[in-house]
């Protein structure tokens, strides 16, 4: 494997960091070793596939620049069922391959509708049913709709010969667990692998979408809530459940969401999808440096990692992204145009120049003050007479954009707070006139600056939702999901 060529194809080291949720030193180590860790192989294969670069899924050897009709699925799974190859390729474009896990519960019958809708899209759908799932719908009816063998037993030697369970997990572009019972969510959160379904979840490198369905009391139980939070913090998406009458006769949140909603979320999560195509988005990021004289400046600890992750993820969703970055020690993110600036004033004028846009996200840690009268000459030290610096207020970029005649449809800010982040964040949202604020706690107990993960409260006019602590890349993915809803659904 030519690891440098693969890193280039993925958009450089920062893109690989964002993709795998690792730091720069990890990528340097991969280069030195000449190999990626085993767990990352499928993610890399999928990311390359999404960029039209074909590689051998086992060895990651580059096969060609653009995917041809022989899809990776078909070359990889030589013993896959005969219907797989016809479903997976059409006209040189590889159709997405979905692994659908149906766990027990009365809502399992709705999975049949979901399979039908996925097949209508031309997707390949392979299904694993848990023992509980098979009590509600038969593998035969599932196979009739999916056109594939339905997998139910971890230890079936025939299945192993035809399609090893690890391959089943790794060939998927997306894993959908629908309906997901409290039991399978608990087992997934614990990392168990006591049946084929949970083994596949552990072995996959694909994104995972979970659609819970259960009794409202079970959903409300703190144990289930904690499991849901754990799964989310690992980057899995949860859709629903809906509220209303449930099959057990009790009312409350617990119904499986409509299969069409699952389908639409699944579509967004597929690698290579571009729901933000034709949308222009401007992201500010990093610190600003405010000169004291020709050689000194005032700065802050912002690393720029969160803004870069946002720019990278939005570009991957098809947006035309301009990243306006203060001085940072990061390579440019894949897919975004980067404008480098130093001071708050420069950042404001670059942001105004980038308008009109559909959205502006102000993730930069802009200095509130600039040194009054800072010149080019170095201030000389006069013993016993420290200079008395005076400051002038910097322009507020977020507030300026929010009140601008060319205000984008969506303006998003961040709020770094050391106490009561939700209250202060919401106050900032109103004061600055933006639509959403991502408030994070930057107190001594909660390191954010320079860290790879972040804990944010997502604040809108409708209220605040606390997202679990997750990687900055996962925060960017969550934000992108909200933005896709806002910018593409009216
Ligand atoms: N911001 C900006 N221009 C500034 C200051 C802040 O665009 N001159 C933006 C930041 O990018 C962020 C939001 O405003 O999206 C809030 O930044 P923060 O530093 O938390 O707020 P401040 O306005 O500096 O308020 P305070 O220091 O009182 O918390």
Structure tokens, 489: 């659904």
User: According to CATH, what is the number of the domain 280-488?
Assistant: 3.40.50.10300
Question: How many residues are there in the chain?
Answer: 490
Delimit the domains of the chain by residue range: 3-67, 75-269, 280-488
Pocket test for ligand 1, best of 414, 418, 438, 440 (most atoms within 8 A of CB): 414
Identical fold between 75-269 and 280-488: yes
Contact 276, 314 (CB under 8 A): yes
Q: Say what the pLDDT of residue 25 is.
A: 76
Distance 276 CA to ligand 1 centre (A): 27
Q: Does domain 75-269 have CATH number 3.40.50.150?
A: no
The strand pairing partners of 454, in sequence order, are 470
Pocket test for ligand 1, best of 366, 404, 426 (most atoms within 8 A of CB): 366
Contact 360, 408 (CB under 8 A): yes
Q: Is 362 considered catalytic here?
A: no
Contact 10, 41 (CB under 8 A): no
Structure tokens, 72: 């990776």
CB of 124 closer than 6 angstroms to any ligand 1 atom: no
- Judged by DSSP in three states, 63 sits in strand
CB of 428 closer than 6 angstroms to any ligand 1 atom: yes
Q: Say what the pLDDT of residue 163 is.
A: 62
Give the residue from 407, 101, 120, 142 showing the smallest Cα distance to 267.
120
DSSP letters, 86-139, are HHHEETTEEPPEEEEEE-SSTTHHHHHHHHHHHHHTT-EEEEEE-TTHHHHS-H
Cα(27)–Cα(29) distance, integer angstroms: 5
Q: Say what the pLDDT of residue 73 is.
A: 32
CB of 396 closer than 6 angstroms to any ligand 1 atom: yes
DSSP letters, 375-411, are -SSPPPP-TT------EEEPP-HHHHHHTSTT--SEE
Give the residue from 114, 84, 120, 117 showing the smallest Cα distance to 101.
114
Fold of 3-67: 434 Repressor (Amino-terminal Domain) (1.10.260)
* Shortest-distance Cα residue to atom 3 of ligand 1: 396
Q: Say what the pLDDT of residue 71 is.
A: 33
Contact 142, 179 (CB under 8 A): no
pLDDT in tens, the chain (490 residues): 788 888 888 888 888 888 887 777 778 878 877 888 776 777 788 788 777 787 777 778 877 543 333 333 322 332 233 333 333 433 345 689 999 999 999 999 999 999 999 998 889 999 999 999 999 999 999 999 999 989 987 666 566 665 677 888 888 999 999 999 999 999 999 999 999 999 999 999 899 999 999 999 999 999 999 999 999 888 888 998 988 777 777 778 899 998 988 998 898 888 777 889 999 999 999 999 999 999 999 999 899 999 999 998 899 888 999 999 999 998 888 789 999 999 999 999 999 999 999 999 999 999 999 999 998 899 999 999 998 999 999 999 999 999 999 999 999 999 988 889 999 999 999 999 999 999 988 776 656 666 777 889 999 999 999 988 887 888 898 899 899 989 987 5
Contact 279, 320 (CB under 8 A): yes
Cα(304)–Cα(296) distance, integer angstroms: 21
Contact 102, 133 (CB under 8 A): yes
The strand pairing partners of 281, in sequence order, are 321, 359
Cα(317)–Cα(313) distance, integer angstroms: 6
* Shortest-distance Cα residue to atom 18 of ligand 1: 415
- Residue 190, C-beta contacts closer than 8 angstroms, at least 6 positions apart: none
Cα(171)–Cα(76) distance, integer angstroms: 8
- Judged by DSSP in three states, 324 sits in strand
User: Most distant CA pair in the chain: distance in Å?
Assistant: 88
Pocket test for ligand 1, best of 367, 393, 413, 479 (most atoms within 8 A of CB): 413
């Amino acid at each position: 494997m030519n690891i440098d060529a693969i890193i280039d194809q993925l958009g450089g080291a920062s893109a690989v960091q964002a993709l795998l949720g690792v730091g720069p030193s990890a990528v340097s180590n991969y280069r030195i070793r000449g190999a990626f860790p085993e767990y990352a192989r499928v993610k890399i294969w999928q990311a390359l596939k999404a960029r039209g670069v074909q590689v051998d899924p086992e060895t990651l050897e580059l096969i060609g620049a653009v995917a041809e009709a022989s899809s990776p699925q078909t070359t990889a799974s030589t013993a896959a069922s005969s219907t797989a190859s016809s479903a997976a390729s059409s006209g040189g474009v590889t159709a997405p391959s979905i692994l659908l896990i149906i766990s027990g519960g009365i809502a399992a019958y709705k999975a049949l509708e979901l399979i039908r809708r996925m097949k209508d899209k031309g997707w390949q759908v392979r299904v694993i049913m848990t023992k509980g799932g098979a009590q509600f719908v038969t593998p035969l009816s599932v196979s009739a709709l999916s056109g594939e063998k339905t997998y139910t037993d971890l230890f079936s030697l025939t299945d192993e010969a035809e399609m090893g369970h690890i391959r089943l997990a790794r060939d998927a572009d997306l894993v959908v667990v629908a309906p997901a019972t409290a039991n399978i969510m608990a087992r997934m959160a614990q990392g168990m692998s006591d049946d084929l379904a949970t083994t596949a979840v552990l072995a996959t490198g694909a994104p995972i979408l979970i659609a819970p369905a259960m009794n409202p009391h079970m959903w409300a139980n703190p144990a289930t809530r904690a499991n849901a939070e754990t799964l989310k913090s690992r980057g899995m998406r949860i859709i629903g459940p809906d509220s209303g009458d449930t099959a057990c006769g009790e009312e409350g949140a617990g119904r499986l969401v409509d299969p069409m909603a699952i389908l639409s979320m699944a579509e967004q999560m597929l690698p290579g999808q571009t729901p933000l195509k034709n949308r222009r988005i401007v992201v500010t990021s990093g610190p600003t440096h405010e000169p004291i004289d020709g050689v000194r400046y005032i700065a802050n600890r912002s690393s720029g990692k969160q803004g870069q992750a946002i720019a990278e993820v939005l570009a991957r969703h098809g947006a035309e992204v301009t990243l306006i970055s203060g001085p940072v020690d990061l390579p440019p993110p894949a897919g975004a145009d980067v404008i480098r600036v130093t001071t708050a004033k420069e950042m404001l004028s670059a942001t105004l120049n980038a308008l009109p846009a559909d959205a502006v996200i102000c993730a930069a840690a802009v200095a509130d003050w600039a040194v009054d009268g800072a010149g080019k000459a170095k201030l000389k030290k006069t013993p016993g007479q420290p200079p008395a610096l005076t400051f002038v207020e910097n322009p507020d970029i977020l507030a300026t954009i929010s009140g601008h005649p060319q205000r984008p449809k969506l303006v998003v800010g961040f709020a770094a707070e050391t106490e009561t982040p939700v209250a202060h964040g919401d106050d900032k949202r109103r004061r600055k006139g933006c639509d959403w604020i991502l408030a994070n706690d930057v107190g001594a107990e909660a390191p954010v600056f320079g860290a790879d993960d972040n804990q944010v409260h997502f604040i809108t006019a409708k209220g605040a939702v606390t997202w679990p602590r997750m990687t900055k890349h996962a925060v960017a993915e969550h934000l992108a999901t909200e933005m896709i809803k806002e910018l593409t659904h009216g």
